[in-house]
Structure 1
Amino acid sequence: MLAAMGFTGIAAAGLPILSACGVGGRASAPNGAADVTGGFDWKKAAGQTINILQTPHPYQVSYQPMLAEFTELTGIDVNVDLVPEADYFTKLNTELAGGTGKHDAFMLGAYFIWQYGPPGWIEDLGPWLQNTSATSAEYDFEDIFDGLRTSTRWDLTTGQPLGSGGQWAIPWGFENNVVAYNKAYFDRRGIRLPDNFDDFIQLAIDLTDRSANRYGIATRGSKSWATIHPGFMTQYVREGAVDYTFDGTDLIAEMDSDRAVDFTRKWIEMQQKAGPTSWTTYDYPNATGDLGDGTAMMVYDADSATYPKNKPGASAEAGNLGWYAGPAGPDGNYKTNLWTWSWAMNANSANKLPAWLFIQWATGKESMTKAVEGGIFADPVRKSVFDSTFKRVAGNQPGYLEAFETVIGSSKIQFTPQKKFFDTTKDWAVALQDIYGGDDAASRLRSLAKTNTSKVNL
């Protein structure tokens, strides 16, 4: 959910999201994997054409020059429709709800599985992975980091943990939510990176000097679901809070638990004393922009959103930035919430085999290695590509690899899967704004929890 190298990320507050309930999509076609027989052959669908839907993004830019290589390998032609991300999910929602198979494969954020999976709009890719007639023996799905494979697998039951059930998408690129900081400034003053949240808050306050147009910490604060999922959710779970529990019958919202209230008070105090003065308007481009121009001393957000700012000529502070995992939880944990752009298949596609061959190629080792070599594809989903290529490409970015390796074992989607995710998480962001504006944290969060419990169990 980032935009690097000048491309925008997922639209924040105003993104129209249609509910999976009541939209009226047609039942999906049967899974097509069993129709593929015989030995594996990249040319098995030669002469066919697929349509794919994408939004402008560094991952898309990295792969665009390689599409001709895919056609040469497979004999499959690829038509690409690029849709600005402000309109992307509205278009995709409408298409899938109508049961059309216009686009055979498309970029998908993992949270959208919770909306698109239950009504049968997307293909379960598990059978395709398991069919040796359709999947190359060299593909090695297990090479993809475990937290990413888990985050795109679900049994479609509200509240059930991720990691079982259908494989609804294949991870392509992703983001860990960690802290980027002005390393040159820290080094000049001998500032130590804090390893707990209380010290982190105090450092952010100490770094803030409004008269010098300098503040300590940038995070997202707009009235959008996207405000909750990066730094906020990462530190929330590190501090021992959860979003929902299951009582045997219903999901129960836990935003008003003692741990959640305590953490939220601290998070909001940090914004008030050490954040941007217009925090309630902030999305990640504002936060990363302030880091790049030297206004913000730290940013708690996607690592690959801040990564480009340190490239020569990319910002005023290029060459001065560093990364670290951020403060550990009280028990030393580094639980981290991630975002992944993945590839999914339209369940109503008439071209499932060529679409699967494309997804397999796009998420395979060879093409991903070439994309990373290009320099703007950060955080490859494959461990082998990370070890063989990304470590070399990103090796001159201070602390980036160390932060990545600190959190990767605990990096996954930390939310409880549920179909009203976008609505209830936007409500959460509104509650943060209200507390920032003066509402009592405990009472406002009780109201939020009551409302969200009602919504998720409808």
Structure 2
Amino acid sequence: MSQFFFNRRSLLKTLATGAALPLAARYGALAAHAAENRFAGRTVNLLIIQPHVVTGNKIAEDFEKLTGAKVKVTAVPYDQVSVKATLDFQSGANEFDVIDYFYTYKGQLAEDGVIDDVTDLIERDKAEIKPEDFIKSIYDQYTLHDGRRYGLPYDGDSHVLFYNKELFDRHGLKPATTWDEYTENARVITEAEKKNGIYGAAVLGAKIPVIILSTYANRLTGFGGNFLKADGSSALDSEEAVAALESLLKSAPYALPTPLETRFEEGLPAFLGGKAAQIDFWTDLGGYAQDPKGSQIVDKWGVTRIPVGGKNRTPRLAFNAGFGFAITAGSKNKDIGWELIKFATSQAYHEELLALTGSGIDPDRYSGLASEKYKAFQPLVQPLLDGGALENSLAWPTAAYAPKLENALTDELALALAGTKSAEQAIRDAHAAWSEIIDANA
């Protein structure tokens, strides 16, 4: 997901004239549309998050070549897409046909009637879609609500820990396997290099759910904690939940100033510029780090699994962010919108986007994760996601009231990071807020 406004390369090169036949050959089921040009003269409107704007424009170009349809791409900040889609539907404007939705908002969007139930369409077109190829945990978490499906996965986001090998070697450090080691590495480098404008870590702590909750989720899963219990109640009443926040607070003094103001826009260029020695980030960062057009650390970086903490000894990823494509309920172009979704989420196109620097796309299909193209593009990252790692990842809440849970926890984490509350008090208050929200919606 991590294009994040980091303008380090020009937009994709225009496909060569006459490329429709090769494209059609690659994306089989749409070959008929390419031959018939049956959508010529029609326009479909795609609402996409800003971090996916490179892929949005690529989709628009490629889909028009295949089908004749024009795709109008509207990009908005990642934290505004659901609100914009909801207002568009509720106002009756119905400008958008397809939206790029954050998976934790799918329940709310479905309950509010903003997005269509596509369960029957998936069943009808399953030979083309190959739903069994989607990594099962991602497929269910991203699309399933009350036994029905409301979209198809587009970007399977998760985090790993990247580090600067040059800085680590300079100070005789090893990659962190525990969060205590992470903090100690950050301390050593910051105390030695701060005068040079170099810090031991970039901690993404801005008060935006997709930012600060991702950072917390990495520590929560590292300590073996969960967001929810099996019965759907809050799992924040645990020592793991408190320990995860305590670990975050311990590392903050050694991070790029200041964590509460560090978003993707600050953290990513700091790491790529050699100014931050560690960053837990989306897996596609490996592509950026090896691109000399925007990286000053080519061949100077490494990557490892999210560290563990406390009694936990089993590394586990977290599904931080993560997006799918859905048809809006008010769309006047549902037929073409569905064809666009199938195209953009298809096996072949997913594999292509995985190996494209700047796409911001992480694996959500078994075939993409196992593809030789992806292995060649991300030789250090791919093994960390293979072998069932994604299947066992920590997912965020996805019920219709999930946004309320996210906002409540975001508020408490920010207060703790600001020094207003202790980790124990912040998590206790977050658990109380979560319990109240969950009980009110039982």
- Normalised to the residue count of structure 2, the TM-score between the two structures is 0.82
Gaps (5+ residues) in structure 2?
9-30
Matching of residue 244 in structure 1 with residue 228 in structure 2: yes
How much does 1:297 deviate? 0.6
Q: Distance in 2 between matches of 1:59 and 1:204?
A: 31
Determine helix, strand or coil for the equivalent of 1:433: helix
Partner of 1:143: 133
Partner of 1:222: 206
Q: Equivalent residues in 2 for 1:38-437 (5 A)?
A: 42=33, 46=39, 49-55=42-48, 57=50, 59-62=52-55, 64-65=57-58, 67-75=60-68, 77-85=69-77, 88-131=81-124, 135=125, 137-156=127-146, 165-209=147-191, 210-245=194-229, 252-272=233-253, 274-305=254-285, 307-328=287-308, 330-377=312-359, 378-386=361-369, 387-395=371-379, 399-405=380-386, 408-410=389-391, 412=393, 414-436=395-417, 437=419
| Residues 411, 228 of structure 1: alpha-carbon distance in 2 compared, 3 angstrom cutoff | farther
Partner of 1:6: 6
Q: Read off the aligned partner of 2:6 and give its amino acid letter.
A: G
Q: Distance in 2 between matches of 1:295 and 1:205?
A: 14
How much does 1:69 deviate? 4.2
| Residues 81, 96 of structure 1: alpha-carbon distance in 2 compared, 3 angstrom cutoff | same
Q: Read off the aligned partner of 1:434 and give its amino acid letter.
A: L
Q: Distance in 1 between matches of 2:189 and 2:334?
A: 54
**In 1, are the aligned partners of 2:104 and 2:397 still within 8 Å (CA)?**
no
| Residues 316, 393 of structure 1: alpha-carbon distance in 2 compared, 3 angstrom cutoff | closer
- Structure 1 segments, 4+ long, off by >6 Å, are none
**In 1, are the aligned partners of 2:154 and 2:324 still within 8 Å (CA)?**
yes
| Residues 112, 255 of structure 1: alpha-carbon distance in 2 compared, 3 angstrom cutoff | same
| Residues 63, 426 of structure 1: alpha-carbon distance in 2 compared, 3 angstrom cutoff | closer
Matching of residue 442 in structure 1 with residue 415 in structure 2: no
**In 1, are the aligned partners of 2:273 and 2:295 still within 8 Å (CA)?**
yes
How much does 1:412 deviate? 4.4
Q: Distance in 2 between matches of 1:292 and 1:375?
A: 14
How much does 1:232 deviate? 1.7
**How many correspondences in the alignment?**
408
**In 2, are the aligned partners of 1:5 and 1:308 still within 8 Å (CA)?**
no
How much does 1:80 deviate? 0.8
| Residues 79, 217 of structure 1: alpha-carbon distance in 2 compared, 3 angstrom cutoff | same
| Residues 74, 277 of structure 1: alpha-carbon distance in 2 compared, 3 angstrom cutoff | closer
Partner of 2:15: none
**In 2, are the aligned partners of 1:45 and 1:354 still within 8 Å (CA)?**
no
Q: Read off the aligned partner of 1:379 and give its amino acid letter.
A: D
How much does 1:90 deviate? 3.5
How much does 1:148 deviate? 1.7
Determine helix, strand or coil for the equivalent of 2:414: helix
- Superposed CA RMSD in Å reads 3.0
Percent sequence identity over matched residues? Answer: 17
| Residues 194, 407 of structure 1: alpha-carbon distance in 2 compared, 3 angstrom cutoff | farther
Q: Distance in 2 between matches of 1:307 and 1:319?
A: 11
Gaps (5+ residues) in structure 1?
9-39, 157-164
**In 2, are the aligned partners of 1:335 and 1:407 still within 8 Å (CA)?**
no
Q: Distance in 1 between matches of 2:52 and 2:273?
A: 25
